[in-house]
Amino acid sequence: MDLKEILSVSGKPGLFKTIAQTKTGVIIESLTDGKRIQAFASDKISSLGEISIFTTTEDMPLREVFRLLREKNGEEPAPDVKSDDKALKAFFETIVPDYDHERVYTSHMRKLVQWYNMLIAYGITDFTAPVEEKEEETASPGETSEVADEK
């Protein structure tokens, strides 16, 4: 499942997957309990595929952070999000050593680790970028390309 289909809705705990589009919003399903609800257009909805972490060089997509977390932890979930702040920052620094210390707060790290653990528990473990298929443009048999020959 692509991370673009996984949503975070402000004010609602957990993560959701997109089920269907409606006139006034989106039907979403909780990853934890499978309940379906409607998220309205006025709700703040964020796709995990669109979120990135501030670093000192360029922003790092959340997918890449999750991939690095997966490489470090293997099949194990990340440390408890309720651990003390210093331990969480030290752990996060082993994953993303060049994160921007002024713009990435401890609360962001907690949420990221919480999301990662939810995705692992749900069985989403492939954090590689999806391969976008490019349609090859081919001319139909009767068409030829126009090339002017100059002599």
What CATH code is assigned to 51-126? 1.10.10.1650
For 2-48, what is each residue's pLDDT tens digit?
888 899 999 898 999 999 999 999 999 999 899 999 999 889 999 99
For 39-50, what is each residue's pLDDT tens digit?
998 899 999 999
| DSSP symbol at 58 | S
Looking at 3.40.50.10470, 2.30.30.730, 2.170.190.11, 2.60.120.620, the CATH number of the domain 1-50 comes to: 2.30.30.730
Q: What share of the chain has pLDDT > 70, as a percent?
A: 84
Residue 78 has pLDDT above 90, yes or no: no
For 128-148, what is each residue's pLDDT tens digit?
776 654 444 444 444 444 444
